[in-house]
Structure 1
Amino acid sequence: MRKIAIITFMWAVAVLKGTAQQAPPSNGPHNFSLQDCINYAYEHQDSVKNAKLDITSADYKVKETKGQGLPQVNGTVSFQDFLKPPASVGPNFFNPPIDPNAPLVQFPFGAVKYNNTFSLQATQLLFSGTFLVGLQAVKTFKELSERSLTRSKIQTNVAVTKAYYQVLVNNEQIRLLDANINQLKQQVNETSQSNKQGFVEKIDVDRITVQYNNLVTNRENVSRSLALGYAMLKFQMGMPIAEELNLTDKLGDVNLTQSVAETAVDTTFYRNRIEYNLLETNKRLNELDVKAKKADLLPTVSAAAGLATVFQENHTRYLYNHTYPNSYVGLNINVPIFSGFQRSSKVKQAEIEVQKSNNMLNNAKNGLELQATAARVTFVNSLKSLDNQKRNQTLANDVLRVSRIKYQQGVGSSIEVTQAQTALETSNNDYIQALYDALINKVNLDQAYGRIK
Structure 2
Amino acid sequence: MIHKIYLFMLLLSINIAVNAQEKDSLSYKFSLKSAIDFAFTHQTAILNATVDEEIARNTVKQTVGIGLPQVSTSFNFQDFLKLPTTLLPGEFASPPSSTPIPVTFGTKYSSTLGIQLNQLLFDGSYIVGLQASKTYKELSVRNSKRTRIETAVAVTKAYYSALVSKEQLGLIDANLAQLTKSLNDTEAMFKNGFSEKIDVDRLQVLKNNLETDRENVLRMFAVNVDLLKFQMGMPIQASLALTDKISNVRSEPVVLQVSDTTAYKGRIEYNLLETQKKLNELDLKRQKSMFLPTLSGFASASKSFQSDELQKHFEQSFPTSVIGLTLSWNIINGGQRIYQVRNAKLTVLKSANDMLNLKNGIALEISTSQKAYLSSLRSVENQQRNLGLSNEILRVSRIKYEQGVGSSLEVTIAETSLKEAQNNYIKALYDLLINKVDLDKAAGRINY
Do these two structures clear the TM 0.5 threshold for a shared fold by scoring above it? Answer: yes
Residue 300 (str. 1) matches residue 294 (str. 2): yes
Give the deviation of 1:410 after TM superposition.
2.2
CA contact (8 A) 1:302 1:332 kept: yes
In the alignment, does 2:382 pair up with 1:388? yes
Distance 1:83 1:348, change over 3 A: farther
**Unaligned ranges ≥5, structure 2:** 1-21
User: For the residues of structure 1 that align with 2:239 and 2:258, how far apart are their CA atoms?
Assistant: 42
Which residue of structure 1 lines up, in the alignment, with residue 399 of structure 2? 405
Residue 379 (str. 1) matches residue 377 (str. 2): no
Cα distance 1:348–1:90, how it changes in 2: closer, same or farther (>3 A)? Answer: farther
Please state how far the C-alpha of 1:182 moved relative to its aligned partner. 0.6
Cα distance in 2, alignment partners of residues 362 and 85 from structure 1: 74
Which residue in the other structure is 1:10 paired with? none
Q: Shift of residue 266 of structure 1?
A: 4.4
What is the rounded CA distance, in whole Å, between the counterparts of 2:109 and 2:230 in structure 1? Answer: 69
Alpha-carbon distance in structure 2 between the residues aligned to 1:440 and 1:251: 13
| Residue number in structure 1 paired with 2:10 | none
| 2:320 alignment partner AA | N
Cross-structure match for 1:289: 283
Of 27, 44, 56, which residue of structure 2 is paired with 1:58?
A: 56
Q: 1:81 aligns with which of 79, 98, 123?
A: 79
State the match for 1:170 in structure 2. Answer: 165
Map of 2:241 onto structure 1: 246
SS at match of 1:111: coil
Match of 1:189 in 2: 184
In the other structure, the counterpart of 1:47 is 45
Report the counterpart of residue 268 of structure 1 in structure 2.
Answer: 262
Structure 1: tracts of 5 or more residues without a match: 1-23
- Residues in 1 aligned to 2:113 and 2:24: alpha-carbon distance in whole angstroms: 59
Percent of paired sites with the same residue: 48
* Deviations, residues 287-331 of structure 1 (Å, cap 9, x unaligned): 111111111111111110111111222343433232122111111
Alignment of 1:130-279 (within 5 A): 130-255=125-250, 260-279=254-273
- Give the letter aligned to residue 171 of structure 1: K
Tell me, what secondary structure is at the counterpart of 1:254? helix
C-alpha displacement at 1:112, in angstroms? Answer: 3.0
Which residue among 33, 36, 50 is the counterpart of 2:31? 33
222-231 or 77-86: bigger deviation: 77-86
1:19 alignment counterpart: none
2: CA distance, partners of 1:293 / 1:316: 55
Aligned to 2:426: 432
Residues 1:320 and 2:314 aligned together: yes
Alignment correspondent of 1:12: none
Q: CA deviation at 1:60?
A: 0.6
CA spacing shift, 1:26–1:86, aligned 2, 3 Å: farther
Q: Answer with 220-229 or 303-312: which moved more.
A: 220-229
Which amino acid counterpart does residue 331 of structure 2 have in structure 1? I
Distance in 2 (alpha carbons) for counterparts of 1:267 and 1:233: 33
For 1:255 and 1:218, the matched residues in 2 are separated by: 25
Residue type at the aligned position of 2:312? Y
Matched AA of 1:356: K
Q: CA deviation at 1:93?
A: 6.0
2-structure distance, mates of 1:93, 1:312: 30
User: Which amino acid is 1:358 matched to?
Assistant: A
Deviations 1:340-391 (A, max 9, x none): 1112221112111111111111111111111111111111111111111111
d(CA) in 2 for partners of 1:374 and 1:141?
A: 33
Distance 2:116 2:24 in 1: 56
CA contact (8 A) 1:256 1:383 kept: no
User: Structure 2: how far apart are the matches of 1:451 and 1:106?
Assistant: 91
Length-normalised TM-score, structure 1? 0.89
1:245 deviation in Å?
2.5
Q: CA 1:333–1:317 in structure 2 vs 1: closer, same or farther (change >3 Å)? A: same
Question: Structure 1 CA distance, aligned partners of 2:202 and 2:247?
Answer: 36
CA–CA separation in structure 2 for the residues paired with 1:66 and 1:87:
49
Q: Which segments of structure 1 move beyond 4 Å, counting only runs of 4 or more?
A: 89-93
CA distance in 2, matches of 1:287, 1:397: 65
Partner AA of 1:191 in structure 2: T
Aligned positions of 1:118-133 closer than 5 A: 118-133=113-128
Structure 2 letter corresponding to 1:293: Q
Q: CA deviation at 1:277?
A: 0.9
CA distance in 2, matches of 1:245, 1:94: 99
Aligned partner (choices 355, 377, 390) of residue 361 of structure 1: 355
- Residue-by-residue CA offset, 1:41-61 (whole Å, 9 max, x unaligned): 111111111111111111110
Query: Offset of 1:201 from its aligned partner?
Result: 1.1
Instruction: In structure 2, give the amino acid aligned to 1:79.
Output: F
Distance (Å, rounded) in 2 between the aligned partners of 1:356 and 1:109: 69
How many pairs does the alignment contain?
426
Larger CA deviation: 196-205 vs 72-81: 72-81
Q: Is the 8 A contact 1:256 1:438 kept in 2?
A: no
8 Å Cα contact 1:25/1:240 also seen in 2: no
Is the Cα–Cα contact under 8 Å of residues 256 and 439 in structure 1 kept in the other structure?
A: no
Q: How big is each residue's C-alpha offset from its partner over 1:179-236, in whole Å with a ceiling of 9 and x where there is no partner?
A: 1011000100011011111111111101100101111121122122222222221221
The alignment partner of 1:124 has SS state of strand
Change in Cα spacing, 1:181 to 1:135, as seen in structure 2 (3 Å) is same
Q: Tell me how far apart the structure 2 counterparts of residues 159 and 300 of structure 1 sit (CA, whole Å).
A: 51
- Answer yes or no: is the 8 Å Cα contact 1:125–1:303 preserved in 2: yes
What is the CA–CA distance in structure 1 between the aligned matches of 2:258 and 2:351, rounded to whole Å? 29
The alignment's C-alpha RMSD in Å is: 2.2
Following superposition, the deviation at residue 32 of structure 1 comes to 2.0
CA distance in 2, matches of 1:82, 1:268: 79
Instruction: Sort the Cα spacing of 1:400 and 1:255 in 2 relative to 1 into closer, same or farther, 3 A.
Output: closer
Counterpart CA distance in 2 for 1:82 and 1:334 is 38
Asked if the contact 1:313/1:319 (under 8 Å) is kept, the reply is yes
